[in-house]
Amino acid sequence: MADLRQATYQVAGGYSIALAEAGSGPAVVFLHGSGPGASGASNFRQNIDAFVDAGYRVILPDLIGYGASSKPEGIDYTLQLFTDTVYDALRQHGIERAALVGNSLGGGIALQLTLDHPEFTSSLVLMAAGCVAEREAYFVMPGIAKMVSNFGGPDFDLAEQKRLVSNLVHPDFAPKITDELVAERFAVARTQPKDVLVRMRTPDLSPRLGEITQPIFVLWGLNDEFCPEAHARLFLDRCQDVRAITFGRTGHWVQVERAAEFNHYAIDFLNTRGA
């Protein structure tokens, strides 16, 4: 894998946001999703080299509460907090314009950032984007129910971490989850407070999708148990410049489960629609 350069920035509220980067060229910011142990590098490890080789500067922030970034307790983890802190860090890092690649919560952050700072976003690649329905609608999804865990407690162990990661993917792919990925995410999860998940607050941005004029590429797994594939229709119906692709026998992690295809299609989109 390409060597990752590390940086950390102090942002409003006294928090620190860590990010890694590789490559050079037009900036592509990868925004990871939620869940115990998530981080920029671990969520997109199978995509970094392909984008670097295609001539892009890959930026991998760790969201507040995740990776090597600050993990405050006793606060609500709102979509605006995620968005404002990562945007602050990106601007300090010298990024003035970028394509945004977001999975799940990261997709919601990409949408909010684009609505707040339309001049910053050149285009969007969204994999099972969240925040396009009421928060309660997600909590009835079967994948969310399976995420009930002793995360944050003394009994949280590697086996539990592996179960949580395996829930993100289609059963056919679950045996391919490596021990290295589980260990990497477990090391992060042990440092996270429960507030990261139990006090996460996200709005429904679907009424505002029509405000986004940038080109959008939506990718979704047909068997996603966290963010229903039917939500792809929201983008097709409401956005001005959008295309979508659905993968069969694929869960919540298109960029992992279908890494080679994701890399091919997403890079082609950025090459033709502009990064």
Report the pLDDT averaged over residues 183-199. 96
Instruction: Name every residue whose Cβ is closer than 8 Å to that of residue 4 and which is 6 or more positions away in sequence.
Output: 20, 21, 22, 41, 48, 60
Digit-coded pLDDT (tens) for 93-146 = 999 999 999 999 999 999 999 999 999 999 999 999 999 999 888 988 999 888
Structure tokens at 216: 């959008």
Q: Is 28 left (phi over 0), alpha (psi -120 to 50) or beta?
A: beta
For residue 275, pLDDT over 80 is answered with no
Following DSSP, what letter does each residue of 96-123 receive, concatenated? Answer: -SEEEEEETHHHHHHHHHHHH-TTTEEE
pLDDT score recorded for residue 147: 80
- Which helix H or strand E contains 196, and what residues bound it? helix 195-198
For residue 213, pLDDT over 80 is answered with yes
DSSP secondary structure code for residue 3 in this structure: P
Query: How many other C-beta atoms lie within 10 A of the C-beta of residue 5?
Result: 10
**Range of the structural domain that residue 160 is part of:** 5-273
Catalytic annotation on 252?
yes
Q: Give me the number of domains the chain comprises.
A: 1
Token pair 């969007």 in the structure block, residue: 124
Higher pLDDT, 273 or 238: 238
pLDDT score recorded for residue 87: 98
How distant is the alpha carbon of residue 91 from its chain centre? 19
Report the pLDDT averaged over residues 83-88. 98
Tell me the CATH number at 156.
3.40.50.1820
**Phi and psi of 28, rounded to 5°?**
-125, 115
* Cα–Cα distance, 5 to 125 (Å, whole number): 23
Instruction: Name every residue whose Cβ is closer than 8 Å to that of residue 158 and which is 6 or more positions away in sequence.
Output: 182, 183, 186
For residue 148, pLDDT over 80 is answered with no
Instruction: Name every residue whose Cβ is closer than 8 Å to that of residue 30 and which is 6 or more positions away in sequence.
Output: 40, 43, 44, 47, 58, 59, 60, 61, 101, 102, 106
Token pair 């941005």 in the structure block, residue: 205
pTM above 0.95, yes or no: yes
**Phi and psi of 253, rounded to 5°?**
-115, 65
Catalytic-role residue among 170, 231, 252, 264 = 252
Q: What is the tally of helices (H) and strands (E) in the chain? A: 12, 10
* Cα–Cα distance, 210 to 233 (Å, whole number): 13
